[in-house]
Amino acid sequence: MPTLLLTYFGPFSGTPSNPTGQVAQRVAQLLAGSAPGLSVQVRELPVEFAASSRALAEILDEVQPQIAIALGVAVGRDKVSLERVAINMDSARIPDNAGDQRTDTPIQLDGPTAYFSTLPTRAIFERLTADGLPLELSYSAGTFVCNHVFYELMHKTGGFIPAGFIHIPLSDSDLLKAKGQLSSPCAEAGGLEGKTAPTPTLALDLMAQILEGCIALTLETLTQPGA
């Protein structure tokens, strides 16, 4: 039975509510019905540069997934973003949840400049946008903890499994929960700066349905090598 690892994050500086936990749980429920042969392991990662690397290494070791997808929120984006490139740099104006504020810091001293996602991002984008779903291909996951986890995920899985990162917009309930505490989008955290209000959102159920589709198409590549 193949195993899918799905990771999510909690709140962080300027973003008091993160939809990725609820979305990951809903995706797991949907997959229990649509892909009963798939074991789905949902895990939270800390929004911390150093601790997320350690946690991810432990989780990969424990779960030994055949597919790994990390989720993060990108405030200001209005579509589910299939991230294609992770870069070897931590740099952000905001600190992580441990107070660590990094500027132009390499993630892996001897690592390559960048990794590409090994999820079938092009095929997912074409198939799901043809169904009218709000998805985009993205060439920057920023330089905060999401890009960090994406880079570490690709570094540690070494291209041997389909793995990658997907940013999602905020949900309506996040905006309600944030009650004015939401800061303006931060580009390093994948956000879209310079956009005027209102902050775009997508419904949790729609985001879960899109991710279920992403995973179904990725599963097809496990059974059809080279697809």
Residues at the interface with ligand PCA (CB under 6 A): 9, 12, 18, 20, 47, 72-74, 142, 144-146, 189-190
Nearer to ligand PCA, 21 or 162 (CB): 21
The whole-angstrom separation of Cα 180 and Cα 173 is 13
Backbone phi and psi for residue 162, each to the nearest 5 degrees, phi listed first: -65, 120
Q: How many CA atoms lie within 13 A of 80 on its CB side?
A: 29
Size of the chain in residues:
227
Three-state DSSP at 199 gives coil
For residues 213 and 128, is the Cβ–Cβ distance under 8 A?
yes
146 an active-site residue? Answer: yes
Neighbours of 26 (CB within 10 A): 18
Query: How far apart are CB 33 and ligand PCA at their closest, in Å?
Result: 26
Query: How far apart are CB 178 and ligand PCA at their closest, in Å?
Result: 14
Query: How far apart are CB 89 and ligand PCA at their closest, in Å?
Result: 12
Neighbours of 198 (CB within 10 A): 7
Nearer to ligand PCA, 65 or 72 (CB): 72
Nearer to ligand PCA, 28 or 187 (CB): 187
212 an active-site residue? Answer: no
83 an active-site residue? Answer: yes
Per-residue burial over 51-74, b = 16 or more CB atoms within 10 Å of its CB, e = otherwise: bbbebbeebbeebebbbbbbbbbb
Residue 99, class by beta-carbon neighbours within 10 Å (0-12 exposed, 13-18 middle, 19+ buried)? exposed
Nearer to ligand PCA, 66 or 171 (CB): 171
Query: How far apart are CB 3 and ligand PCA at their closest, in Å?
Result: 23
Three-state DSSP at 70 gives strand
Query: How far apart are CB 147 and ligand PCA at their closest, in Å?
Result: 6
Which is catalytic among the residues 83, 152, 188, 212? Answer: 83
Which is catalytic among the residues 48, 152, 155, 167? Answer: 167
Nearer to ligand PCA, 168 or 219 (CB): 168
Which residues are catalytically annotated? 83, 146, 167
